[in-house]
Amino acid sequence: STTTSTVTTTTVKTDVLVTENMTVDLPGYGSCEYANYNFKGASECIKWYERNGLIFHIYYESLEVRSYVQAGTYPLVAMLSDIGGHAGLWLGMSLISVVEIFALLFLCVNKLIRGKSMAVGDGPIS
């Protein structure tokens, strides 16, 4: 998976700016031009917003954007391949061990039944 993050640096500067007759143009919500039942008239509405309103402007110092991309160094495919390789190695070793145990049991049973040792010669196998 890849994670992308964007970093922005902010600087705060404060200035007092007095605005006149700035209203929000939404009927019933901050609008002094439409029927607003919170005030008796448009002039009272405008005075209230001049005293209590706030206009907030955001300016960026620069339009530079830094993006950092983080990628996994051990992807899922590599992990599954490693697990499969180890499982195959241990399974193969265990099958060889099982065959060796059967061979040992065969030799032990053969020794008990025959009671003598088997001769191993240097001659050709016939």
Domain parsing of the chain, residue ranges = 1-73, 74-116
- For residues 14-51, b (16+ Cβ closer than 10 Å) or e, as one string? eeeeeeeeebeeeeeebbbeeebeeeeeeeebbeebee
- Own/partner pairs for 56-61, CB < 8 Å, 24+ apart? 60/8, 61/9, 61/11
Give 58's Cβ-side CA count (13 Å radius).
3
- For every one of its 126 residues, what pLDDT tens digit does the chain have, with 9 covering 90 and above? 566 666 666 666 666 555 555 555 555 555 676 666 777 887 888 788 778 877 777 787 788 888 888 877 888 889 999 999 888 888 887 878 888 999 999 989 988 888 766 666 676 665
pTM to 2 decimal places: 0.28
